Amino acid sequence: MNVCGRYTLLAEELDILEAFGISNPIEEYQPRYNIAPGQNILAIVSDGQKKKADYLKWGLVPNWAKDPKIGYKMINARTESAADKPSFKRLMEQRRCLIVADSFYEWKRNGKEKQPLRISLQDRKLFAFAGLWDRWKVGDQELVTCTILTKEPNDFMSEIHNRMPVILPKDKELDWIEKEKKDPYEMRDFLLGLPDEALTAYEVSSYVNNAKNDGADCVLPLA
């Protein structure tokens, strides 16, 4: 199981627009209980003037890739090495995005079993993962895809998993997506130096294990 391989976005559209200062409506927005790799996910990019919310396919397909199936292996990128990797270096410079969420799932090993947990921020509902995006085009086939950056776990997450997604503090979101070209190592250090926000978690049922299950039962606390 990838780190940050599933998450939720249950907020109302208006709350998302307000939280992230977006003026364009989100086409065909639907709250989601079990967002999975390979699906279209809500991301925010900046053109230097304003922020725009749109759907990107989760699973990065670099613009030089021969086969778009590579995306299934690239749902996450390690922040520590992203500035060194051909797939991510150019994106760290100029193709950074926010991936909108309100909780994520992680599976904690419990003997031979893995117990799913729903993890969210203690003090605010909506947040953004740090993401990277790219555009792949061959003939008339085009994909705009993204990946979620991960890092070493904080004290809270280390009890659950050996990696965690990078969650941007509210006042650092614009710094991450501003349009200017940046040094990829500077952006790596920016992410690794972010303060940790307090997290909370509770156990949910194995219903969430199946990516086809996308209903309220996914987030019900385990009895």
Task: Kindly list the catalytic residues.
Answer: 4, 106
3-state DSSP call for residue 188? helix
Distance CA 135, CA 180 (A): 18
The DSSP element (H or E) to which 8 belongs, if any, is strand 7-9
Q: Among residues 85, 29, 34, which one has the least CA distance to residue 205?
A: 34
The dihedral built from the CA positions of residue 176, 182, 184 and 188, taken in this order, carries a sign that is: negative
Which residue is listed with tokens 């606390």?
A: 221
Measured from the Cβ of residue 81, the count of other Cβ atoms closer than 10 Å reads 11
DSSP-derived letter for residue 49 is S
3-state DSSP call for residue 5? coil
Encoded tokens for 111: 């003997």
Tell me whether strands 164-165 and 141-151 are parallel, antiparallel or unpaired: antiparallel
End-to-end CA distance of the chain: 24
